Chains A and B, each alone.
Chain A
Amino acid sequence: MSERILLGDEAVALGAIDAGISAAYAYPGTPSTEIFETIRRHAASASPPIRGLWSTNEKVALEEGVGVSYAGKRALVSMKHVGLNVAADPFMNVALAGAHGGLVLAVADDPSMHSSQNEQDSRFFADFAQVPCLEPADQQECYAFTREAFDLSEKLQVPVLLRLVTRLAHSRARVTLSPPRAQNEARYVADPSTYTLIPSNAKRAYGRLLDKQAALVDYAERHPANALTLRGETCPGILVSGVAWNYLQEALGPRLEQYNVLRIGVYPLPVQKIRQLLDASTEVWLVEEGYPFIERYVSALGLMREPPIKGKLTGHLPRSGELTPDVLRRSFGLPVGESLQIPGLDDVLVGRPPRLCEACPHDDAYIAIKEAIADMGNDVRVMGDIGCYALGYLKPHQAIHSCLCMGASIGMAIGAAHAGMNPALCVIGDSTFTHSGMAPLLDAARENTNIKVFILDNSIVAMTGGQPTMATDEQVVDLVAGLGVPRERIRVVSPVPQKKAENVRIIRDEIARPGLAVIIARRACVTYAKVIKEHRRERKATPA
């Protein structure tokens, strides 16, 4: 037994390693990134070494993980919540095929959208796929539940979703580790029909998944993390899950002892225990981080009011944003603390939003784009994408007019061009391009759509902390050409102040010429200059 100070993310990573994974796959995304980074740090010292290279996107990562499982070994696949949208196709289907070697998806939700475009709740995905979901409440559970998730996955032959939230993923605490377990030997799936989901097989596979449901509910009913404490027939009740339990303890303190309490950490929902809580309580509060997932079930979309349900659907708790101890105190009608008062404070405190770094190549790219379109009227739109360069929406540039999801910039520009937009422009980073920009660019190349695509190639995945990119420099040019963009319409420019006039001229030329053009603004990120050099060395050492 050894003890470490770990982020929730790090505890998941070590839990997976100690559970005997043979491989891990991920695409970086806050707040999940540190799971895979931790595995990478330990990859070489595992025996045999764990394979740990970033994947092109979350769909690929999960499919790679499924392949490991197929071969009988254990794999952890990690991603942020919106990454599971990308991986939804393999996720929904591997639920039917099942897991062979243990297969666990660690998915980190971001309530309050600290670093995300929505606060979707991954418990819905687990429910949708009809696979179990473990929801740790603290860092120790992050470690223990990850280990347990692999056992459960192998025992019931299902993939298991581990749901984290930002405040757990990015919070440190003491974690006690237990002795590691050996990796599995390879043991391929014997029956080829299992993973071959042609309709005749898929019908049987779905039957198998449905047959597992009773065992999954039974597992949840018996699980100690789903703990029911009944104090009396005249007490109000609380049904609480995940990290909300921590805030609830902080907010209510000894008052908690006046409530019947059911804690949920393991899904599918333990229906019997919920029934017992409802029967025993005068009213029931639903306290959960994220969407009102449990509440929708328990209250039948708010239709069921006997005994009264109090939660996010009923307006007793805020519908959006993360919970905090103070949010809960207010919801339960308790006073919040009076802080130090400083006269005049509001007059001298302004917001400090994130911004592009000093000497960032994106600055020069946006300056050139803005200048090139300056005399084209105010109606020019630039579709943006996910990454540091999304900050181009803010002052001083205010250069992009959308940011929807990974890779959407190109598809949206195509659609806008079809709707008559001219010029139709879009910007996308090197890593977002390989993640999910290549497929829409293939569309555009096939049709020679009249759009201009700016690929901002800074040689790194910067926003999430400097992970290696899949392709940079000439590799990006070759990819773009390979998709069918004529070489003479691929322009590589260097976004530096002294080349501004030349860059503006090239952009104007390409906008003036009809058809598809790709302008690659190539300059390495200044903040991760050192890391980029390391990545280049690594690439040379391990040629493709």
Chain B
Amino acid sequence: MNYDLVICGVGGQGVLSIAWVIDHAAVEAGFQLKQPEVHGMAQRGGAVSAFVRISDAPIASDLIPDAAASMVLSVEPMESLRYVKMLRPDGWIVTDVTPLKNVATYPDTAKLFDVLFSVPRLIAVDAGALAHKAGTVKAHNVVMLGAAASLLPVPAALIEKHLRALFADKGERIVAANIDAFRMGDAAGRFTAALVAGGAPQGVVARVVPRLVFEPRTVPASVTAAWLERLRAPDANVAAARIFASTETLTLDACLTALSG
């Protein structure tokens, strides 16, 4: 088993913290690990990345070769596209949809999302909304870690254990909020993967999921089934575009009603 992961975002978004948690979870699960990251000048609001290489055999190179990564996990939508050269053809992009526009040349967001949402294996969530609901607005990165968790070769329970360790000195309230943020992200990730696996059009799923508010637990199979039925309908893409454009967040039930309305 070899699993290569690119984690990326902008300096200050907590990219290196996510890497730290995955590192410790992977090693506790018995894997070998190599994990290079960017320090120094780039951390001043520039593009930041960490590469995580997990294997059950010794790993030679710290760097990930092109087209070897199974996932790009990003805390910012444009940044998720920066490392596509490293992504396998069957790889996943897991990203927050909140643009961080600290450059004047930032692309038109409608165009950006059109390109991003065409990615065949994509989990897109609004990490800010979920972090806010979890009670810790800083936890975009932890929500994104959750969104990726079901695809990683590391048990979620071990990730949670090391999340607790990361925030241990900040007090139990912050720990609990981050665990909630992680679980909401996990629910969003699993829900997205289930919809895509069930045959819902990827472009439709990508536009709806970022507007959903998840609970810190897995979405029940019955709810997923109802969603699948609706999203397979021919007009679902129109409704999904409308819901994404509104930027309003909805519960799963409310959104299903809106999709049908």
Contact residues of A with B, CB < 8 Å?
A: 5, 30-31, 33-34, 114-115, 167-168, 170-174, 243, 245-247, 249-251, 324-326, 329, 336-345, 347-357, 388, 391, 395, 463-465
With beta carbons under 8 angstroms apart, the residue of A174, A245, A250, A352 that contacts B46 is A352
Q: Can you name 6 extra interface pairs (CB under 8 A) apart from A347-B107, A352-B47?
A: A114-B38, A171-B35, A171-B37, A250-B65, A348-B115, A354-B42
Answer whether A350 and B65 are a contact pair too, CB < 8 Å, given A34-B39, A170-B36, A355-B45.
no
Answer whether A336 and B39 are a contact pair too, CB < 8 Å, given A348-B112, A349-B82.
no
Q: Which residue of B lies closest to A395 (CB)?
A: B104
With beta carbons under 8 angstroms apart, the residue of A168, A246, A352, A354 that contacts B41 is A354
Per CB-CB distance, the 5 closest pairs between chain A and chain B, nearest first, are A337-B67, A30-B40, A115-B40, A354-B46, A171-B36
Answer whether A345 and B84 are a contact pair too, CB < 8 Å, given A350-B107, A355-B46.
yes
- Comparing B85-93, B134-142, B163-171, the segment that makes contact with chain A is B85-93
B221 at the interface (CB under 8 A from A): no
B96 at the interface (CB under 8 A from A): no
With beta carbons under 8 angstroms apart, the residue of A114, A173, A336 that contacts B65 is A336
Q: Which residue of A lies closest to B78 (CB)?
A: A349
B253 at the interface (CB under 8 A from A): no
A168 to B38, CA, bound (A): 11
B63 at the interface (CB under 8 A from A): yes
Nearest Cβ on chain A to B21's Cβ, whole angstroms: 11
B180 at the interface (CB under 8 A from A): no
With beta carbons under 8 angstroms apart, the residue of A337, A343, A344 that contacts B68 is A337
Chain B residues near A30: list those with CB within 8 A.
Answer: 39-41
Chain A residues near B90: list those with CB within 8 A.
Answer: 340
A462 to B82, CA, bound (A): 27
Whether B62 contacts A168 by the Cβ 8 Å rule is yes
A347 to B91, CA, bound (A): 21
Q: Which residue of B lies closest to A387 (CB)?
A: B41
Q: Which residue of B lies closest to A341 (CB)?
A: B89
Whether B33 contacts A170 by the Cβ 8 Å rule is no
B24 at the interface (CB under 8 A from A): yes
- Considering residues A174, A249, A251, which has the most beta carbons from chain B within 10 angstroms of its beta carbon? A174
Chain B residues near A172: list those with CB within 8 A.
Answer: 23, 33-37
Nearest Cβ on chain B to A35's Cβ, whole angstroms: 12
With beta carbons under 8 angstroms apart, the residue of B32, B63, B111 that contacts A174 is B32
Q: Which residue of A lies closest to B65 (CB)?
A: A325
Whether A354 contacts B44 by the Cβ 8 Å rule is yes
A341 to B91, CA, bound (A): 11
Whether A354 contacts B107 by the Cβ 8 Å rule is no
With beta carbons under 8 angstroms apart, the residue of B23, B106, B111 that contacts A5 is B23
Answer whether A465 and B39 are a contact pair too, CB < 8 Å, given A172-B23, A324-B63.
yes
Answer whether A325 and B63 are a contact pair too, CB < 8 Å, given A171-B36, A345-B84, A354-B45.
yes
